[in-house]
Amino acid sequence: MNGRLTIGEFSRFCKVTVKTLRHYERMKLLVPNEVDEWTHYRYYTVSQMQQLNAILQLKEMGFSLEEVRELQDEGTNCPNVHQLESKIKQTEELLDALHDRLELLKRMASTQSKMETVDRISIQRLPEIIVAVHHHVLDRWEDLPSVCAGIMEPELQRLGCKRSLPINWFIVEHGKGFKKKDIDIDIFEQVEDLMLDTSVLKFRILPEVPTAVCMKCQGPYDHFPEQFAELQDYIKEHEFQVSGPHRIRFVRSMWNQKNPEKWLSFIQVPVTRDKRPRLAKRLFK
């Protein structure tokens, strides 16, 4: 091997990009042994491979390029025990964070899978949850995302409120039926801690709903009146009794899915079971 290598040759031998070598040069981490004053070609020596390998190894151990440069300024590529122990602690914290991320991804994948495969109309139990509640009168349904992002979100962040993951939020509409304007609603978002009320948010414990008739709704919101009417017919046909206000839970909606045809919502209506044993047994077995 020639003792003098062009930047391209050095790049191929060391399996790093020319762009990386130029970046290291700008940071004074690995400067070419020679730069031709006429052609400006950069040349490296074989011995510089060891220096590059030391930089790459430190990066693998979690040291930033700035930290590598500080080590070089100290005349070494070998961190001391204190520096290594600090990286060990950082790595353990990163592993914990990655474990939490993995569990969250698994929970979200499981939740999404259940929502995708659930029957269009199903009987479900709604568990007890802690919620932050904001009351608002919408001019139109399209204003809902701006209320959540512009009013609820800043207040939750200001309070340092920890939200439940995967995010679970829904609305309860006051009055009967679905309005297209002047929509009086309470917006609920599940949180982990019961906090003091503010002028923007109220915190409540929603009790468990033992039985709810739930309809999976796909598509734009202008189908809600027809879908809710169908759900009411189902409730009457199966001789349930409505026992509380219905909820509309948004999973994929106008703020996280541009295509209205892919919006996914659930209408959840609390009901009581039919008093006749046979029908109840047939429906809930």
Task: State how many domains the chain has.
Answer: 3
Question: Quick one: tokens of 199?
Answer: 């002028």
Q: How confident is the model at residue 10 (pLDDT cuts 50, 70, 90)?
A: very high
Give the per-residue pLDDT at 177: 63
Q: How far is CA 262 from the centre of its chain?
A: 19
Give the per-residue pLDDT at 277: 52
| β-bridge mates for residue 272, sequence order | 241
| Domain stops at, among 61, 89, 117 | 117
Q: Which residue has the higher pLDDT, 247 or 3?
A: 247
Answer whether residue 280 shows pLDDT above 70: no
- Peptide bond just before 220 cis, omega within 30 deg: no
Three-state secondary-structure class, residue 41: coil
Condensed to tens digits (0 to 9), the pLDDT of residues 31-51 reads 999 998 898 899 999 989 999
Answer whether residue 65 shows pLDDT above 90: yes
Give the per-residue pLDDT at 117: 56
Give the per-residue pLDDT at 118: 62
Same domain, 129 and 94: no
Give Cα separations from 237 to 33, 85, 110, 118, 126 (angstroms): 85, 68, 32, 21, 22
Condensed to tens digits (0 to 9), the pLDDT of residues 104-154 reads 788 777 766 665 656 789 999 999 999 999 999 988 877 888 898 899 999
Mean pLDDT of 241-257: 86
Give the per-residue pLDDT at 116: 60
| Domain stops at, among 77, 101, 135 | 77
Q: How confident is the model at residue 76 (pLDDT cuts 50, 70, 90)?
A: confident
**Token pair 């440069």 in the structure block, residue:** 69
Give the per-residue pLDDT at 17: 94
Give the per-residue pLDDT at 1: 54
Residue 183 and residue 38: Cα distance in Å, rounded? 74
Residue 53 and residue 97: Cα distance in Å, rounded? 29
Condensed to tens digits (0 to 9), the pLDDT of residues 174-229 reads 876 667 778 899 999 999 999 999 999 999 999 999 999 999 988 888 788 888 88
Same domain, 97 and 209: no
Same domain, 155 and 72: no
Same domain, 66 and 147: no
Mean pLDDT of 67-92: 90
State the residue range of the domain holding 65.
Answer: 4-77
Give the per-residue pLDDT at 282: 43
Computed over every residue of the chain, the mean pLDDT equals 86
Three-state secondary-structure class, residue 267: strand
Same domain, 106 and 13: no
0.75 exceeded by the pTM?
no
Q: Which of 68, 66, 40 is closest to 52 using CA atoms?
A: 68
**Gyration radius from the chain CA atoms:** 30
| CATH code where residue 201 lies | 3.20.80.10
Give the per-residue pLDDT at 281: 43
Question: Quick one: tokens of 4?
Answer: 């003098």
